[in-house]
Amino acid sequence: EPEVTQTPSHQVTQMGQEVILRCVPISNHLYFYWYRQILGQKVEFLVSFYNNEISEKSEIFDDQFSVERPDGSNFTLKIRSTKLEDSAMYFCASMGDSSYNEQFFGPGTRLTVL
């Protein structure tokens, strides 16, 4: 069964460093998303991406964040200068057809900022 994959599963970085989180969405999906979940808190929408551009973004998704689809398979989230409060689980999701709204989540990358 097709699935969304994410790498790495755990990333540890120093405050102020740049990190890139990688995702491979399900191959025929068209819509891509990043979410974060701080430990013990709700899943928070960061950004949606369609047709090679950002479709929607939340207030959390400020200038420190960027997304890219560098090739036909990968979808990345970059955090330019990490802060302690960026420590969270980051989930990538993909969706095939907006009329169904069925998002499939990847396993997540746990980001720890020291």
Partner 1 sequence: QKEVEQNSGPLSVPEGAIASLNCTYSDRGSQSFFWYRQYSGKSPELIMFIYSNGDKEDGRFTAQLNKASQYVSLLIRDSQPSDSATYLCGSNTGNQFYFGTGTSLTVIP
* Interacting residue ranges for partner 1, rule: CB under 8 A: 31, 33, 35, 41-45, 48, 50, 55-56, 58, 91, 98, 100-108
Please report which residue ranges of the chain form alpha helices under DSSP H: none
Per-position b or e across 19-58, b if 16+ CB within 10 A of its CB = bebbbbbbeebebbbbbbeeeeeeebbbbbbeeeeeeebe
Q: How far is the CB of 16 from partner 1 (least distance, A)?
A: 28
DSSP per position, 96-113: S-TTT--EEE---EEEEE
